[in-house]
Amino acid sequence: MAKWWGPKLAYDVIHQCLLCFGHGGYDRGPMEQRLRDVLGIQIGDGTAQIMKTIIARVRAGRKNVPA
């Protein structure tokens, strides 16, 4: 769950920073790039849905958690 939560928290924090700077945060500066970076972390190495499915299968058994 830490693997899911870390990138989600990073995304939420950077999103708030970007909004704080308004249009300047959206089209200039490093924040727009950082937001894309953390989006990539949320997809690469397994999306949250897949990670949660794997955890649920370990906890509840594969036959109880279909694909």
Residue nearer to ligand FAD on the CB measure, 16 or 47: 47
Map residues 1-40 to x or -, x wherever contact with ligand FAD holds by CB under 6 A. ---------------------------------------x
Count of all residues that appear for the chain in the document = 67
Task: Please give the sequence-ordered ranges of beta strands (E in DSSP) within 1-67, or none if there are none.
Answer: none
Does the footprint of ligand FAD cover residue 67 (CB under 6 A)? yes
Chosen residue from 3, 47, 56, 58 binding ligand FAD by CB under 6 A: 47
Asked if 31 and 25 touch (Cβ cutoff 8 Å), the reply is: yes
Asked if 17 and 25 touch (Cβ cutoff 8 Å), the reply is: yes
